[in-house]
Amino acid sequence: MTLRVALVGGPMYDHLYEIFAPVEVEVVVQADHPTLNRRVAEMLGAGERIDLLATHSKYAPSQIEWLRPLDDLVGEATVAALAPRAVDLCRFQGTAWCLPRLIDVRLLWVRTDRVDPPPASWDEIVGSRMVMGFPGRESGLFGTFFELVVGRGGRLFDESGHATMVTPESEWAIETLCRLSARAPSDLPTWHYEQVDAALLAGRVDAAGVWPGGWGAIRESPLRDRLSPCAYPAGRLRRVTYAGCHAWAIPRSCGDLSAAVGLLERLLGAEAQGLDAGGGSICAHEAAMAAVEPADDLDRRRLELTAKMIEEALLTYPPLARFPEIEDAGWSAIRDALLGRRSPLEAARAMQAAADVVLG
């Protein structure tokens, strides 16, 4: 049986898919993550067969009605080769609903001919004339807001999981994003991850937060000698970067479980994960990542800083099955503020109202 697979698409992911033999898989979806999630929900909700699914550790809890638990399916040796922290992020309520492909965490990349010295904090960025690029929609926008709130000492959820979106820290974070957007290119509110990278490499912004998969384009860019990686900006109290794991899962609709598990174990193995690492991503397979030889001093600096951010500054989503719904409502409200449709306080109140509905 040819396996039906649903894949996340984009420059930082597509190079891996050459590993698939044409007779081995039928790609039923290949799209950016929000589009992938919507299409997969439609297909699985309608009972369509998908044998292997690209997901993310923050999205899998909202998909568990369609997913198979993996603890008793995937070999212990396969899982033991993966970074334990990444595996833990793929668990929800003690069960592994997915297993990690990549660990995503941002660095700040700056134009050294425009920004000297590089900013150490968000306050320095706001107080300067630097043009900062960031995603203007979807998870990337909400994640940047989340970083700003937590870095300033705030929180979005209390100890019992209730939303706490209307705070001085939230209002400040939205106001900060509005100020940074106002001096950026006017189309920033339309930017997804790859548009941020493109703006940096086209010289439209002076600096941007870039995920590891953006390294390939930086490596080939004519601006390479004028770009430098830096630690992600610190807040007044903490340095944090919103992160998680791209991952693989097996839906309950899988038609050939043995073949799907075999493909999953191959995708979690050193060869496949080494291909991801070779493209610049931080793969979850520890030996494959350790085998990566930096191309030069710039690449070595990038890898060292990324490891430091993973160790010291990782900010992850709360363990809520319906968190993606809160995130969707949140970024929409924040983008309204970027576009002048709401004040920062109105945006924070809209997020709180949406979270209250979602969480009951």
pLDDT of 319: 85
Whether residue 297 is contained in a domain is answered as no
Whether residues 214 and 145 fall in one domain: yes
pLDDT per residue over 29-71, tens digit each?
999 998 999 999 999 999 999 999 999 999 999 999 999 999 9
Whether residue 65 is contained in a domain is answered as yes
Whether residues 273 and 198 fall in one domain: no
Whether residue 166 is contained in a domain is answered as yes
The pairing of strands 3-8 and 52-56 is: parallel
pLDDT of 360: 87
Whether residue 164 is contained in a domain is answered as yes
Whether residues 51 and 83 fall in one domain: yes
Whether residue 301 is contained in a domain is answered as no
How does pLDDT run along the chain (360 residues), one tens digit per residue?
899 999 999 888 998 998 898 779 999 999 999 899 999 999 999 999 999 999 999 999 999 999 999 999 999 999 999 999 999 999 999 999 999 999 999 999 999 999 999 999 999 999 999 999 999 999 999 999 999 999 999 999 998 889 999 999 999 999 999 999 999 999 999 999 899 999 999 999 999 999 999 999 999 999 999 999 999 999 999 999 999 999 999 999 999 999 999 999 999 999 999 999 998 999 999 999 999 999 999 999 999 999 999 999 999 988 889 999 999 999 999 999 999 999 999 999 999 999 999 998
User: To 5 degrees, how large is the angle CA 237–CA 164–CA 312?
Assistant: 30
Whether residues 38 and 130 fall in one domain: no
Task: State the Cα–Cα distance between residues 326 and 257, nearest whole angstrom.
Answer: 33
Whether residues 236 and 321 fall in one domain: yes
Q: Which two tokens stand for residue 338?
A: 């970027």
Supply the pTM of this predicted model. Answer: 0.94
pLDDT of 11: 84
Domain extent at residue 206: 107-242+315-359
pLDDT of 22: 75
User: To 5 degrees, how large is the angle CA 91–CA 139–CA 172?
Assistant: 115
Whether residues 180 and 321 fall in one domain: yes
272: domain CATH number is 3.40.190.10
Whether residues 124 and 172 fall in one domain: yes
Whether residue 22 is contained in a domain is answered as yes
Whether residue 25 is contained in a domain is answered as yes
Whether residues 214 and 338 fall in one domain: yes
Domain tally, the chain: 2
Which of 252, 275, 290 is where one domain is finished? 290
204 by Cβ neighbours in 10 Å (0-12 / 13-18 / 19+) ranks as middle
Whether residues 169 and 231 fall in one domain: yes
Whether residues 180 and 145 fall in one domain: yes
Whether residue 137 is contained in a domain is answered as yes
pLDDT of 168: 97
Whether residues 43 and 154 fall in one domain: no
Phi first, then psi, for residue 348 (nearest 5°) are -60, -40
List of residues 6+ apart from 77 with CB closer than 8 A: none
Whether residues 90 and 115 fall in one domain: no
DSSP 71: T
Residue 182: HSE in the Cβ half-sphere, 13 Å Cα cutoff: 10
